[in-house]
Amino acid sequence: MSITTAPAASSTSTAREVLSAAFPAGFGAFQDGKVVPGSGNSITLTSAATGEPFASYADPGTEGADSILESSVRGAAVWGALNGFERAAILRNVSRVVEAHIEELAILESATTGKPIRDARVEAAKVAEMFGYYAGWADKLTGQTIPVPGPWHTYTERVPWGVVVAITPWNAPLFTAGWNSAAPLAAGNAVIIKPSEFTPATTVRLAQLAHEAGLPAGVFNVAAGLGQTVGATLTSDRRVGKVSFIGSVPTGRRVAVAAAQAGIPALLELGGKSANIVFADADLERAADGAISAIFSGAGQSCVAGSRLLVERSVHSRFVEMVAERAARLRVGDPLDPDTEVGPIITAPQFATVTSLIEAGVNDGGRRVTGAALPDSLAGSKLAGGHWVMPTLLDGVTPANRLETTEVFGPVVGADAFDTEAEAITRANNTTFGLAGAVWTSDISRAHHIAREVKAGTFWINSYKTIHVAVPFGGFGDSGHGRSSGPGVLDEYTQTKAVWVPTRAAGSPFPSLSY
Ligand code: NAD
């Protein structure tokens, strides 16, 4: 096995240098084991940190998407014919190769998205872990032997869907590429990822590394490009067995309808508006650190962000001050600086959305406690034109405020006071979303009661934002359906076949059943 290594990038390189070092001949797709320049729409990539364009690429267009589908159908036949032990060995190798390229992937992710390098390193390591975890399942996908009345041996088998198309968002491109490829591959499917048009680079590089680690050609393809053309083509084509989508509610619904019309089932991981509930009896220092991490890590561009802070009235003012003080101390700046804790908003349209929602929150009665002007270190530097939003806390965000129910997807938290446990639960559930939530308290019974009552796919007690590939993750309500991690996801990526064999050949019954 020989692994090609992209020319080394350093933390002082610019986005343009890092990207052209990784893909000297351009990119638009990864198909049949090769990086392929596209010939469809031309897309300009803009640096979130400086606001300047740094590269452009052509996507595969609808014709290119069709050719990628053909390649994946061939790849699915090859991959599906391997046994689980063979697939496990290759996926273990993918894990090792990704692990050996964590730094390179992290620099590519950070330079091209604006994600702080310290977060990008953690996410790249998680991708290696995902492949290792699902490699462990690839040779353990068993069916069942089911006793039935009569002379029958009846058993089930797990059959891959064939081609799985995964549509991913821009906030965590590498992480979601691993999240949505390791499991379907372990289950024997070929995968096509359509990353966000804004952030395609690390997904292409991941597919390249996976191929070099032993995945046969066509098993892991990437179609970088626009959702309305490339994405829409891939999610409504009958050659596709299953669609998995991570992104916003409106797009998720559009994708699910298009897929359903082609008879394709879709798994949806959508947005959130999660409540972080703090009781007076909590360890308030720890809860304040947790509240900071809940909303400001990833600059709030996180589906599980703790964007509503509900605090018991007796400690509300003090706790809001504690969070505001910590928020003001966060190091906001150059994503490639290892000390940076909060980076810019990744896309220009999202930057506009976040700034207008802060204004809406203030107009609706929210009191800005922290977060406004950029520090001199940003305002007077080459970063001045970037998509910067300082960590923002608005207090007095009541149910009438738009920030109570609207996902901001930025570093903005709305706080409010509550008086009773019942009120905290009602407020937490005052959303159509149901992705995550948390409670901070030293009362163990109350903690479990609240965990039971809040409608969310993930709930933390005295913690926030811990997720692991071994644990099911997904949403209630508008946050989507289906789970995308844990062993259960292997059921999402396989179909069950039942096989009946008579154990007494002669004279065995043929029951009459009109079903
Ligand atoms: P988005 O919905 O705008 O785009 C998501 C993806 O869909 C992109 O790749 C886009 O190109 C593609 N797309 C757009 N139109 C399409 C179409 N017609 N057919 C097929 N694909 C199409 O979302 P975004 O702005 O990239 O991401 C932000 C959203 O994602 C937020 O709401 C966030 O909460 C959500 N998110 C959810 C999770 C989760 O696990 N629940 C994780 C990350 C992000």
pLDDT, averaged in runs of 10, over the chain (515 residues): 50 79 91 94 95 94 96 98 98 98 98 97 98 98 96 96 98 98 98 98 98 98 96 98 98 98 98 98 98 98 98 98 97 95 97 97 97 82 93 98 98 98 98 98 98 98 97 98 96 97 74 66
Query: What does the alpha-carbon distance between residue 208 and residue 33 come to, in Å, rounded to a whole number?
Result: 7
- Residues of each domain in the chain carrying CATH 3.40.605.10: 18-44+57-270+480-495
Q: 270 Cβ partners below 8 Å, 6+ apart?
A: 246, 247, 248, 249, 252, 303, 433, 435, 475, 478, 479, 480
Ligand 1 site, residue 59, Cβ cutoff 6 A: no
Q: Among 171, 274, 387, 484, which residue has the most ligand 1 atoms within 8 Å of its CB, making it the best to mutate?
A: 171
What is the pLDDT at residue 121? 98
Q: Is the dihedral of CA 102, 103, 104, 107 positive or negative?
A: positive
Query: Which protein residue has the closest C-alpha to ligand 1 atom 19?
Result: 232
Query: What does the alpha-carbon distance between residue 239 and residue 138 come to, in Å, rounded to a whole number?
Result: 23
Q: Among 130, 251, 273, 304, which residue has the most ligand 1 atoms within 8 Å of its CB, making it the best to mutate?
A: 251
Q: Which of 269, 341, 421, 492 is catalytic?
A: 269
Output the CA 297–ligand 1 centroid distance in Å: 19
- For β-strands 29-31 and 220-223, DSSP reports them as antiparallel
Atom of ligand 1 nearest to the CA of 195: 9
Residue 387: phi and psi, rounded to 5, are -90, 70
Output the CA 249–ligand 1 centroid distance in Å: 8
Atom of ligand 1 nearest to the CA of 350: 25
CATH homologous superfamily of 18-44+57-270+480-495 equals Aldehyde Dehydrogenase; Chain A, domain 1 (3.40.605.10)
What is the pLDDT at residue 11? 44
- Residues of each domain in the chain carrying CATH 3.40.309.10: 275-461
Query: Which protein residue has the closest C-alpha to ligand 1 atom 30?
Result: 247
Query: What does the alpha-carbon distance between residue 475 and residue 483 come to, in Å, rounded to a whole number?
Result: 8
Ligand 1 site, residue 255, Cβ cutoff 6 A: yes
What is the pLDDT at residue 504? 84
Per the CB < 8 A criterion, the answer to whether 455 and 476 are in contact is: yes
Task: Please report where in the chains the tokens 């804004």 appear, as a residue.
Answer: 198
Ligand 1 site, residue 273, Cβ cutoff 6 A: no
Atom of ligand 1 nearest to the CA of 435: 41
Output the CA 411–ligand 1 centroid distance in Å: 18
For 389, other C-beta atoms within 10 Å of its C-beta total: 23
What is the pLDDT at residue 8? 45
Q: What share of the chain is helix, strand, coil (3-state, %, to 5)?
A: 40, 20, 40
Atom of ligand 1 nearest to the CA of 347: 25
Query: Which protein residue has the closest C-alpha to ligand 1 atom 28?
Result: 247
The answer to whether 269 is a known catalytic residue is: yes
Ligand 1 site, residue 251, Cβ cutoff 6 A: yes
DSSP 453-497: HS--SEEEES------TTS----SGGGEES--SSTTHHHHTEEEE
Output the CA 229–ligand 1 centroid distance in Å: 14
Query: Which protein residue has the closest C-alpha to ligand 1 atom 8?
Result: 196
Per the CB < 8 A criterion, the answer to whether 113 and 107 are in contact is: no
CA dihedral 178, 183, 186, 188 (to 10 degrees): -110
Q: Is 3.40.50.300 the CATH classification of the domain at 275-461?
A: no
Ligand 1 site, residue 483, Cβ cutoff 6 A: no
What is the pLDDT at residue 4? 53
Query: Which protein residue has the closest C-alpha to ligand 1 atom 43?
Result: 303
Ligand 1 site, residue 481, Cβ cutoff 6 A: no
Ligand 1 site, residue 171, Cβ cutoff 6 A: yes
- Does the pTM exceed 0.85? yes
Ligand 1 site, residue 432, Cβ cutoff 6 A: no
Output the CA 169–ligand 1 centroid distance in Å: 4
Output the CA 84–ligand 1 centroid distance in Å: 32
Query: What does the alpha-carbon distance between residue 15 and residue 21 come to, in Å, rounded to a whole number?
Result: 10
What is the pLDDT at residue 480? 98
Instruction: Provide the CB-side half-sphere exposure for 28 (13 A, CA).
Output: 23
Ligand 1 site, residue 169, Cβ cutoff 6 A: yes
